[in-house]
Structure 1
Amino acid sequence: MSPRIETPLLPEQEPSSDEKHGFTSGVVFNVSTTIIGAGIMSMPAAFKVLGVIPALLIITIIAWLSTISVGFLMKSTLAGESTTYAGVMKESFGKTGSVAVQVVTMVSTFGGTVVFSIIIGDVLSGNENGGSVHLGVLQEWFGSHWWNTRIFALLFIYVFFLLPLVLCRRVETLAFSSAISFLLAVLFVVISSVLAITALIKGQTKSPRLFPDLTSGGSFWNLFTASPVIVTAFTFHFNVHPIGFELKDPSHMIPATRISMILCAAIYFATGLFGYLLFGDATMSDILVNFNQSSGSSIGSLLNDVVRLSYALHLVLVFPLLNFSLRANLDELLFPTMKQSLAEDTKRFIGLTLSLLICSFLSAIAVTDIWYFLQFFGSTTTVSISFIFPAAIVLRNVHGVSTSSEKIIAAIMLVLAVATSIIAISTNLYSLAANLMVSFGNSPPL
């Protein structure tokens, strides 16, 4: 259960009747859309590594802990004077704390925008992975031309779709696009579910493992590389304050978060299970690649294209939510003494928006793989945003509002997060070192 939030009986200033506030339904869509990003594409691969039952348990536990940590954040925020994540950390840990959360949030959100762009580029223009060429939708429809290469396809998306969306100055104005985005994610799940059930009836599904295959010590440690992917999939805490403080009563963020967590956990489990049923051990880290026509799948070409394009459009609509938090934290870091808000300062707003958009575009052109991105973020930045920082705020308890039970939960959350992160990072580094040794061993000596 999330911690109870106490708000003053007499607010210092009664909001004017004509002041605009967000609505709980819009909050649910914005939170759900922030959660369901690129992580859903790697959920079937996580099921392949973990097995169905452990994956279900981890999804449930992380969703529950994420709801609790949001409660921690909002309770500490309303007990103090700040209205931002960085501000709450500053109240607890000084300037070092605020800078830490700003940097971590910027790295996480910027990485998220890059991952989204990579997937969109893969859908439209394809990619080449391990010598295997996967065609994009544009190549399949029109053949290979200069105008449907990755760089030009992404440039078109950035200029005509992403730019108008990221120029929105209030996150509440994105509620409608978030609703559409959420429905597109549901469409993806429905299509995958129908395909899996149909294949199951025909006896064409793969046999999923209920538990992981622990045939060697190495495979056991590899389980810890899948957990960060799920952590990344549930990370939205960087948007808790921007979304919550557009409500008339920010404490309403808690019930909206509970609803969003239930919806997103159900979507993640359905996607992971049905995707794993469809493709079995052939499941790729980005399941959209499995829907490629050249993958040898028996799925019709029309459904292939619908699945890929619907989710690419979903990511286009999620992009501005990540960019909103990225831009706000960068502004707070670079211009901490500016009295005029970012939304009211047109020159500052446009400058930061265009700079971040250009950096995201160039990074998406330079980088082509999302799995290591998700592993790295899940074991470092996102686990800090979701669990380590909120738990530390509760244990610090500068406002004296944390109860003994909350401190115990926070301590357990902190230990689990740190321990899992260390194991995941160590396993990833070991795997990277092993791959490098194999590469150098197969290469001619210098």
Structure 2
Amino acid sequence: MRVSNRLSGFFRQISRVRPAAFLVLFLCVAGIVYLSWHASAESDPKARAIAQECVGEQKPTDCVKQKILAMVVADGDAGEAFRILRELNTKEPWMGDECADLATNVGRDLYKQRPDYHFLRLGPDTVNCNYAFLQQYVREMLSATKDTGMAKEYCASVEKSLKSVASGVTAECYRAVGQTLPFIDSDSMGNPRRMIAFAIRNCESMTSVPDERHTCVAGAFNYLDVRQSFGEYGLTIDKKDPAGICREQPPEYRGECYGSYKRVILASVAPSPDFGAEMATIQSLYPNLDKETLLVLAHTLGYDAATHRSGPPDYDALSHSCATVDTALYGQCVQGLALGFAKNGTPGEQYLEIRKLCDAAAPDLKKAGVKCLGVGEISYLKTLYSPAKFAETCALLQIEDDPLCE
């Protein structure tokens, strides 16, 4: 009744306004709305021009790549080029999920045309697309020159330009360095144990910060595993004990090793939304897997489910998939989902997707006595945002009491 009275009162007030005055009021409001929309539409003419030119192409994203590449080649302003890419990625549906692939291709082709990284101006937006551009450029550099000193200087340049924007950008640069290191030493090529030993030695000599060193080593294991899986460089994997190489590593690096060789293990079973059944199959095939490996596998199941989903995320369904695993593994599975959203969610809005996931999983998390976000997930979120934005993220995710948020 109160609402009805208020509405009737509102319309009585409107009816008292003279027609001419009402027309003026209407035109003013309409004008403001139009100008606001028009200003928004006209806010980025460069992005709009590229969109108009590329949308009709058979492969519009290839067209976009060439435009972005040409901009960086011309004046070295990678920041401006990737700002435009961000605009296209968020506003043009036909861009799809190709941000990282497109940025990787730009980094690859740019090094071929401009191998001197000093000409680059790395504005804030070059960290977008999961650091793909920055990482591919240094991969190409190290593969071509085999000069670890130059790669170290490049990562220092990246840190100087972008540390205030994304605190983890240096570690992500060294991840790409690590991914390349096993394949630049001809003396160890073909022997995975010697290749990884060479990579670890160089990661240790190039870095002084533990996080950067471990990220470098993780990158080395990651790419070695991939090349072994595909039989490249004459490498093979022991199918009876695919994670055997990890038990031989120094204790401080075993986690990075298990985190990479998980792919070989998971590839031996058919994907299923019933993660519990999938884990049971894995354990029947590999009865000697230790608890550390099982935790890594559970985390990976969650990560892959969040990363390779089709369509908008179904947070309840994803949470339920994790709830099918053993209670001791449940927390890692949910945290894997969270990391998947952090790395591959909507740029700038990853924390919103993680909040929805954590809300959906809250009852089961409480039963299991585990948290939705672990150290790795929070650390990665910290690399994405400025300190002020990260503080807001901690508040939204209700993790202000975590030491990483202080």
TM-score (norm 1): 0.20
Which is bigger in relative contact order (C-alpha 8 A, separation at least 6)?
1
TM-score (norm 2): 0.21
